[in-house]
Every structure is written in structure tokens, then in C-alpha cells.
Structure 1
Amino acid sequence: MSKALLPWLILLLVSAAVSSLLFYLHLPAAFLLGPMAAGITLSLCGATLRIPRPCCLVAQAILGCMIAQTLSPAILGVLAANWPVVLLILFTTLGISGLSGWLLVRYSALPGVTGAWGSSPGGAAAMVAMAHDYGADVRLVAFMQYLRVLFVAGAAALVVRFAMGENAQAMSQQVVWFPPLDAGFLWTLLLTAVAGGIGFLLRIPSGVMLLPMLIGAGLQTGGWLHIELPEWLLVLAYMVLGWSVGLEFSKAIFILALKTLPQILLSIFCMILLCGLMAYGLTRWLGLDFLTAYLATSPGGMDSVAIIAAGSSADMSFIMAMQTLRLFSILLTGPAIARFISRHAPRENPLREAS
């Protein structure tokens, strides 16, 4: 066997083993978390595998269509009727993000811009791209962002698993891996390619996922399309997305970030806790179930949250509406917050870039 193929085979086997174990334990998003864990393990052991970007884009577009299956126009009325609470959640999330970045810069050796972008709970890929434009160390920003995604996804999956109790086992047993397919599947693939391609060409942040999600929801609501996605295709998309996160970790960046790792982890845990408290507030103010509220306020990544929500009984429409609003609010305010932190947060002995 070629030496070039051996790491990929190991990655596949480890991913399958971990995913099967998590699925046996009825943990939501098992086929996301398993490949994510396998990718991290191999990366920290020195593997230099990377998922081709086109594969990641296709997986995101498929995920967008999956979300579109569950979206309902009625959610717009819910958001409009409760706009003060929605705005409060968004502004609170921005405040938590800014405070987290400020404290990281103040009490760690992270450079100001890097700490600000690394702590922003927006789309991880978008944050890394924007951080590069503003002069941050993209290696550390990527490490912080994907570490956040890892812990947020893990925490959300555990919350969903324990909240669902015995229902989690029932949902796992209801999975039909190879359902019969009709013309709807071909039209869904066409939607994935066209809408995802437009989102990519327009360079909309997370557009490869958002456009299939919005266009697909509109077509399905209007009765023009029945979105059909077999479980085996979704699993492939989940695995690609899990690998794309896990393989972003590397031994070199881990060593570089080791000095500030305790502060980074503390900021992530505090963000998860505070968002959990907001979720509790939503259950009191809007009467939502805790699963929906928790996933709606969970600090990203949006694709991971969507996959976890799909494996639960939560309200996907409300969750994705809140996640999308959070993403764009972070994208709009991120540069200003980063500039403020880098200029005004006191810092000493910033972490120097590795040569």
C-alpha cells in the first residue's frame, strides 16, 4: 500500500470506530464528532492531511439543504414578535465575545488582534479569513476558533443526549440508511450545486451553506421541490466537516499556543456557560424547550450546531434563525471589536510568532 494512502486509511478506520461507538451510545452528531476526534488525534501525532476545499464546500451545501428541510416561514413571525429578546441575545453574545477577547489579551500573552479574532463566536472559517486581513496570526486564530468549535459541539451533543434520555435511543433506531430515491434526490443535488456555487461566487460568508438553506426552504415551502437527502449522504457530509475541523489542529500550533492554552480554555468554557444561562432565560421568556434554546444560543459553529440539532427533537427553524443572526452580527461588528481590543486592552510580552 502506498505510504501516501496509509494515513487516510488510518483516519477512516479511526473515524469509523469512534463514530460507531458514539452512535452506539446514542450521542447526537456521532458522525461529526467521531471524525473530528480522529482528525485531531492524527494531526497531533504529526499527520499533515488536509481535506480538499471543494469537498468541504460540497458538504456545507448539502448541510444547507438538510437545514432547508426543516425551516418554516412561521419562524419569522416568532422572531418579529419577540424582537426585544432576540436583540438582547445578540447584543449579549457580542458583549460576551468582546469581554472574552479583552480578558484574553489582558491576562495572556496573546497579541491584541489575534486574541480578539480568536475569541469571536462567528463562523470559524470566516473569522480566520477576516483575521488575516486585519493582521492577526491566523495560525493562532484558527487554533482558537476550531478549539471553540470542538468544545461547543461536544458540550451541545452531551446536553442533547442527556436531555433526550430514552428518546435518543429511539431516534437512533429510526434511521433508514438507504431509503428508496426518486427524482427529488436529483433535483436536490442540482439545488446543492447551483445554490452552493452561487454562494461561493458571491463570496457571502458561509454562503455555500446559507444560499442552499434559504433557496431550498423557499422552494420546499412553495411546493416546488421536495428536498430528499438520504442518510448515507448526510453521514458523508458530516464526516467531511468533522475532518475539516479536526485536521486544522497541528502539533506545531498546539505547542505555540500551549503558553496561553489555560486562558483560551477558560474563555471557551465561560462563553459556553454564559450562553447556557441565556438559554435558560429563553425558556422563561419565550417558553421554549431547553434544547432549542441551548442550541439557538450556542456559540457556533453553525454547521456543527445544525448537525446536532438534526439529531434531536429541537426546533431547527428557530435555532438556525438565531445562529444566522448571530453569525452576521459578529461579521458586521467583528472588525470594530478587534480594533478596540487591540488598541485599548493592556498587554505585555505578546506571544511572538513562531518562525
Structure 2
Amino acid sequence: MSRASPSTKNTAVPTGIGKLSAVLQWATVGALSIVITVPLELGGFPAALLMGPMLAGIVVALGGGTIRLPRIFFFIVQVVLALMIATTVSEDFLGTFQRNWPLMLFVVVSVISVSTLCGWLITRTGILPGTTAIWGSSAGAASTMMMMAEAYGADARLVAFMQYLRVVFVASLATLVAHFGGHDGAAVPPYAWFEPVPLPPLVLMLAVGIVCGLAGQKLRIPAGAFLVPFALAAVLNASGTISIELPQWLLVIAFTLLGWNIGLGFTRAILLHARRALLPTVLSILALISFSGLLAGLLILVLGIDPLTAYLSTSPGGLDSIAVIAASSKVDIAFVMTLQTARLILVTLFGPWLARFVADRA
């Protein structure tokens, strides 16, 4: 879930938007976000509040922007998303996995295997230095893969670029599929963003979520800032101990910050550095997405679930953006998040070992 940002150390003279002060750069990305998001929202695209800021962040970053979302804000975003998803999937989360675990494990293992194969094939071409492609092609656990890549002497900036690019492709395609497939969720009118919610339970739940997120990070649990608050909130919500109700304005802020965090990672320097890797990376992403589509077809045939639920369930990352799209669409969120969480756990447990195994033999 959590993704380490690519290195931003750059001694070059700022150009384009980068010549502006940080305040003006943030004002620019904010204005662009509104310009892009409003048409998407009016057009009924799900997760427009995520896609608009993400596209605006990409434009500013490629225009020379030097701003980055501070880590503390991304941490808060993960906690808020964890609480949001817990309210929708808590009732049938474990039951969904118990009923379908053989097929779910097959799907997850298949996605991990094909992503590893793509990385190995790119490595064998010699286009990318060393074992960079193996770590960059991993279907999740990006932060872990970047640390492993550095330990193996691979290019961490290229690994980050490959991970970010896959997230953009997957999120964009999922949004288009949801919209043109007729799975748009009910649009929330702007005036509803500020409807009051009970304040004491909200403050208490946010405080508990933040403490759990910090504990997850302290214990070095992969994606701990998301998974630990999510697990606790799901249990509390399912047991009726508390009733989680998040205000719409808080979700709007979280979606916007998540979009900026993804988009602002595509700096001009990173893109120039990765230009030789662009074509093979795009081809490997398209191959992985296509294979995930075949797995989605298998889920449709065997379980009879709707196509978008199947597609979001098999999509190869990232968990946070898929969660936002699922919550904005008419899908079985319990099924989507069960399979996505299983993929994250398995790729975290076995992904580094598998990548290291392949890297040693590449």
C-alpha cells in the first residue's frame, strides 16, 4: 500500500514551474486539479476526485515542479482510507475469503508469478541496469522492493518509476472501465460534503486510527499505516462497538492528497532518467493488465460476479487507489478488498524472496 517516493535530490537549475515558489506551485497544482476534476465529476467518472488531482500532479511534475506531498499527509490519507473501507467490508470480509480461498490464492499467485516473469524478461534484454526490472515489476510492496533493489545495487529511481507508472495505468483504466461499463456510483452533490456528522465518535476513531497506524509503522508491518487501522476498525464496526461515519469533506481531502502523492512522483528528471525503460515498462504493464483481465474472466465464469468487481479484484496495484475506485463504484467492495489484501500480504511475505531468487539467477 505505502509507496516510497522516488529520490528528489537534484542539483540542476530549476526550470519551468520549478522556478516558482513552493506556495505558487501548490496553488498551480490546486487550480489544475479543479479544472481537471470538475469535468470528470460532471461526466460521472468514478473516483474523479482521485484522478483529477493525480493528472494535475503529473502535469506540474513534468512541467518542472519540485514540490512533494509531505510524508505526514500521506500517512493521514492511509488512515482515513482504512477507516473508509472498514465501514463497507467489515461484515463479510473473512467469510468472503473462506468461501473462495482456493480460487483467490490461485489468482494472487498467478499475478505475482507473471509480474516476476515480466521483470525477468526485461532484465534478460539488458535494457535496464542490473536487476532493476525485477524489483520494479513486483505487483506490490513497492517500499520493500525499493529497499531490496538498493541492497542489490539496482537503480531505486527506476524501480519507483516502474511502480508509479503501473499504478497510473491501472487506476486510469479501472476508472474508464467503471464509467463506460455503467458501474458509476451515486454522485455526492457538493453541498453534501459539509453535512454534519457526530464529532466525538469521529475524533475518537481518527485518534485510534492514527495510533494504530503509528504502531503498524513502528512494528515495520508492510503497509501498516493502512492494514492495522483497517483491521481494528473492521472488527469494531462489525461487532457494533462503534459506528464509523466519516464526513464527505474528509474523504474529498484524502482522495485529493492521494492523487497528488501519485502524480507528483513523475518528475521530469525521473522521466528523462527512465526514458530507455519507458517502452519495455509500458509493454510489461500492458501484459500484466491483460493477464489480470483473463483472471477476471475466470472469476466471472466460476463465481458469477460482475465484470468490474472481478477486474478491480485482480488489478495489480495499488491497493489505495483501487480502494477509492471501488468505493466510488457499484461493485462488491468486500470481494475486491479481500483479494487485494490477500495479494498485498502474499507479495509482502514472498515477493522479496522471489525477486531475490530470480535476481540471483538473472
Matches within 5 A, 1:204-215: 204-215=221-232
Tell me which residue corresponds to 1:233: 250
Paired residues of 1:113 and 1:338 also in contact (CA < 8 A): no
Paired residues of 1:187 and 1:225 also in contact (CA < 8 A): no
The separation in 2 between residues aligned to 1:154 and 1:316, in whole angstroms, is 18
Tell me which residue corresponds to 2:43: 25
Tell me which residue corresponds to 2:86: 68
Paired residues of 2:89 and 2:333 also in contact (CA < 8 A): yes
1:343–1:128 distance in 2 versus 1, CA, 3 Å: closer
Q: Which of 106, 117, 120 is residue 99 of structure 1 equivalent to?
A: 117
Say yes or no: does 1:171 pair with 2:187. yes
Say yes or no: does 1:344 pair with 2:358. no
Matches within 5 A, 1:38-117: 38-117=56-135
* Amino acid in the other structure paired with 1:138: A
CA-to-aligned-CA distance 1:7-59 (integer Å, 9 cap, x gap)? 11101111121111211111111111111111111111111111110111011
Tell me which residue corresponds to 1:350: none
Deviation of 1:309 after TM superposition, in Å, equals 0.3
* Amino acid in the other structure paired with 1:321: T
The separation in 2 between residues aligned to 1:279 and 1:334, in whole angstroms, is 22
The separation in 1 between residues aligned to 2:274 and 2:126, in whole angstroms, is 11
* Amino acid in the other structure paired with 1:150: V
Instruction: Output the TM-score relative to the length of structure 1.
Output: 0.91
Instruction: Output the TM-score relative to the length of structure 2.
Output: 0.90
Tell me which residue corresponds to 2:9: none
Say yes or no: does 1:180 pair with 2:191. no
User: Which segment is superposed worse, 124-133 or 235-244?
Assistant: 124-133
Identity among equivalent positions (%) equals 45
CA-to-aligned-CA distance 1:276-303 (integer Å, 9 cap, x gap)? 1101110111121111111111101000
Give the secondary-structure state (helix, strand or coil) at the position aligned to 1:47: coil
Say yes or no: does 1:270 pair with 2:249. no
The separation in 2 between residues aligned to 1:195 and 1:56, in whole angstroms, is 15
Tell me which residue corresponds to 1:284: 301
Unaligned runs of 5+ in 1: 346-355
Deviation of 1:73 after TM superposition, in Å, equals 4.4
Deviation of 1:164 after TM superposition, in Å, equals 2.0
Paired residues of 1:164 and 1:312 also in contact (CA < 8 A): no
Deviation of 1:95 after TM superposition, in Å, equals 1.4
Paired residues of 2:90 and 2:237 also in contact (CA < 8 A): no
The separation in 2 between residues aligned to 1:212 and 1:134, in whole angstroms, is 32
* Amino acid in the other structure paired with 1:29: A
Tell me which residue corresponds to 2:310: 293
* Amino acid in the other structure paired with 1:265: V
1:88–1:286 distance in 2 versus 1, CA, 3 Å: same
Q: Which runs of structure 1 show a deviation greater than 4 angstroms over 4 or more consecutive aligned residues?
A: 172-175
Say yes or no: does 1:150 pair with 2:168. yes
Give the secondary-structure state (helix, strand or coil) at the position aligned to 2:88: coil
Paired residues of 1:112 and 1:343 also in contact (CA < 8 A): no
RMSD between superposed Cα atoms in Å: 1.8
1:160–1:126 distance in 2 versus 1, CA, 3 Å: farther
Matches within 5 A, 1:290-329: 290-329=307-346
Matched length: 342
Paired residues of 1:188 and 1:229 also in contact (CA < 8 A): no
